[in-house]
Amino acid sequence: MKKISILFLLAGSFSFGQAKKGKLIWEENFKGKALDEKTWNYELGDGCPNICGWGNNERQVYTKENHKFSNGNLIITAKKEGNKYTSTRITTASKKEFRYGYIETRAKLPVGQGIWPAFWMLGSNIKQVGWPKAGEIDILEYVGKEPQMVYTTLHTQANHGDHASSKKTPFPGIEEGFHTYGVDWTKEKMDFYVDDTLVFTFNPKDKNEDVWPFDQPFYIILNVAIGGNFGGPEVDDKIFPQEFIVDYVKVYSN
């Protein structure tokens, strides 16, 4: 379940710490002709009946048809089809889950009012304890209504929704071409990077389970949402179709 809304801080400057990547332990290069369902799951529909609108009043219906593979890329296409919006959301839940490491994607963003692509993770125990207690790691979020901005966010039982631990960072030209988005996740802290530039560090002194649920496996999610409390509420129908082009997902030791 994604955020209902978000409290953010505007980054005044960048920190140029270099991302530290150890041994490559898993990668998905999307070189096949179809989604590898030994690794990935589809999440389908509009979230109903359990979390209609995916918890955020989002407008899209997720399908198995709103993506393709081309030149080693996964292309998720958000569309307006008649009176509905369609998109794709895939996860590695129960198939590829990770505790700690450097997790990264290289991707090209869709653009326009109402678009909301994301590369993120949820705690593997979410079905047992629910959101936000399971924890959420948003490595990349972009909303088309705020061009040239990248969001990196953590949701926990102690700080979620309006009080999430978050950073909003200006990146002029982020919509042009491909960029990398990663998190260096250790036992002690999380460092978030865009194009190997450190943009946000989360390192709470008190790491009780309500503040730091990040000592368990998490799974990866890629999707494009439309509208909703964060991406919208307004949606410009003239922007569609829009493509979220993902070159790879890689996980390194640290």
Could you read off the pLDDT of 186-241 as tens digits, one per residue? 999 999 999 999 999 999 999 999 999 999 999 999 999 999 999 999 999 999 99
List CB contacts of 212: < 8 A, sequence separation 6 or more: 156, 204, 206
**In terms of C-beta density within 10 A (0-12 exposed, 13-18 middle, 19 or more buried), how is residue 229 classed?**
middle
Question: Residue 210's closest CA among 128, 134, 153?
Answer: 134
Residue 1: inside a domain: no
Q: Band the pLDDT of 3: cuts 50, 70, 90.
A: very low
Q: What is the pLDDT of residue 20?
A: 79
pLDDT of 9 over the 80 cut: no
Verify whether residue 136 is a known catalytic residue: yes
Please check whether residue 62 is in contact with residue 223, taking contact to mean a CB–CB distance below 8 angstroms: yes
Rounded average pLDDT over 98-109: 98
Secondary-structure percent of the chain, ordered helix, strand, coil, rounded to 5: 5, 45, 50
Domain of residue 121, CATH code? 2.60.120.200
The catalytically annotated residue of 136, 176, 188, 234 is 136
pLDDT given for residue 58 in this prediction: 98
pLDDT for the residue 12: 39
Catalytic residue among 141, 175, 209, 243: 141
Task: Check residue 94 and give its pLDDT.
Answer: 98
DSSP alpha helix (H) spans, 75-215: 126-129
> Is residue 38 situated within a structural domain?
yes
Inside any domain, residue 11:
no
Q: What is the 3-state secondary structure (H, E, C) of 193-210?
A: EECCEEEEEECCCCCCCC
Q: Is residue 2 part of a domain?
A: no
Domain that residue 116 falls in = 24-252
In the residue annotation, 188 being an active-site residue is answered as no
pLDDT at position 17 is 63
Domain count, the chain: 1
In a domain, 15, yes or no: no
pLDDT digits (tens, 9 = 90+) for 147-175: 999 999 999 999 998 779 999 999 999 99
12-60 pLDDT tens trace: 344 456 777 999 999 999 999 999 999 999 999 999 999 999 999 999 9
pLDDT of residue 163: 79
10 pLDDT tier (thresholds 50, 70, 90): very low
Which residues does 66 contact at the CB level (< 8 Å), separation at least 6?
76, 77, 78, 79, 86, 87, 88
- Residue of higher predicted confidence among 7 and 134: 134
| Token representation of residue 125 | 């125990």
pTM: 0.93
Closest-CA residue to 151 (of 222, 230, 63, 71): 230
Distance CA 30, CA 150 (A): 24
Residue 170: Cβ-neighbour burial (10 angstroms; 0-12, 13-18, 19+): middle
Question: How much is the pLDDT for 169?
Answer: 97
pLDDT recorded at residue 15 = 47
* Structure confidence at residue 6 as a pLDDT band (50, 70, 90): very low
Q: Is the pLDDT of residue 184 over 60?
A: yes
